[in-house]
Amino acid sequence: MSTVDPGFEVKTCAELAEQPEEYQNAVRKIVVSHAINELYGAQVFDEPAIALAPTPYAKWLTCRVAMEEYGHHVRFRDLGLEMGIPAEEMTPDRKRPLSIFDYPMKSWADFCVIKLLADLAEIIQVEDLSRCTFLPLRNLARMTMPEEMFHAEFGEKFTAEMCRSEEGKAEIQKSIDHYFPYLPAFFGRSGSKNNEIFRKWGIKMRKNEEMRADYLERAKAITAKFGLTLPDLPEAA
């Protein structure tokens, strides 16, 4: 729970520079993380998926997804630059991206599942940031949300299309079994000190474990629509 006054807001990057160091560092961590992961995701998933898309229509929409994901990186990078973060700190060369990117995408089914389930995880993160006390980050989250919703809907649409055949449904299930166990880690560790600081300052609203539980419920509901199942997760997840 936030311990700052209910009306506390930081309206500009100039005001951010006047805030306690703990607050500044917390905002910085979130902006850097998003800039890095939006860029790397576009590079290893979205852009390569254009070649995997089975029809011109699917390629067209995949191009839009790739464009928007690169655009998310540009927006977070631009905010970071305004905050005084060096550009080189907002690239995968300087900080390790999320572990989901370690597992190569090999098929169109893989990409459908990534959009269906990985972008659902991103939506939950962006929902939390849309109430952030740092207004430039809040506004960026609200600007990003419609595009993240489109990416998840993209995944749902093309997953549904593949599930019309038994062969396609089997491919989707195989991709879910492969990728899903890595996705809960997207939300970080339970009892995270970083998350505690984020919530203290009203930068995030919920604990990692609360967002992860919400994600698991939503992921279960969306896959059940297509007669798909989620694999069991290790207890630690």
Query: Tens digits of per-residue pLDDT, 9-38?
Result: 999 999 999 999 999 999 999 999 999 999
* CATH architecture designation of domain 13-224: Up-down Bundle (1.20)
Query: How far is Cα 196 from Cα 206, in angstroms, rounded to an integer?
Result: 9
Contacts of 60 (CB under 8 A, 6+ apart): none
In this predicted structure, the answer to whether residue 109 has a pLDDT above a threshold of 80 is yes
Query: Tens digits of per-residue pLDDT, 114-128?
Result: 999 999 999 999 999
pLDDT for the residue numbered 236: 43
pLDDT for the residue numbered 14: 97
Least Cα distance to 140 among 76, 47, 231 occurs for 76
Instruction: Provide the CB-side half-sphere exposure for 132 (13 A, CA).
Output: 28
pLDDT for the residue numbered 235: 52
SS3 sequence of the chain = CCCCCCCCCECCHHHHCCCCHHHHHHHHHHHHHHHHHHHHHHHHHHHHHHHHCCCHHHHHHHHHHHHHHHHHHHHHHHHHHHHCCCHHHHCCCCCCCCHHHHCCCCCHHHHHHHHHHHHHHHHHHHHHHCCCCEHHHHHHHHHHHHHHHHHHHHHHHHHHHHCCCHHHHHHHHHHHHHHHHHCHHHHCCCCCHHHHHHHHCCCCCCCHHHHHHHHHHHHHHHHHCCCCCCCCCCCCC
Average pLDDT value over all residues in the chain: 93
- In the structure, what pLDDT confidence band is assigned to residue 169 with cuts at 50, 70 and 90? very high
Using a cut of 0.85, tell me whether the model's pTM lies above it.
yes
In this predicted structure, the answer to whether residue 95 has a pLDDT above a threshold of 90 is no
Amino acid at 199: R
Query: Cβ atoms within 10 A of the Cβ of 39, count?
Result: 21
In this predicted structure, the answer to whether residue 211 has a pLDDT above a threshold of 80 is yes
Query: Tens digits of per-residue pLDDT, 213-227?
Result: 999 999 999 999 999
pLDDT for the residue numbered 237: 47
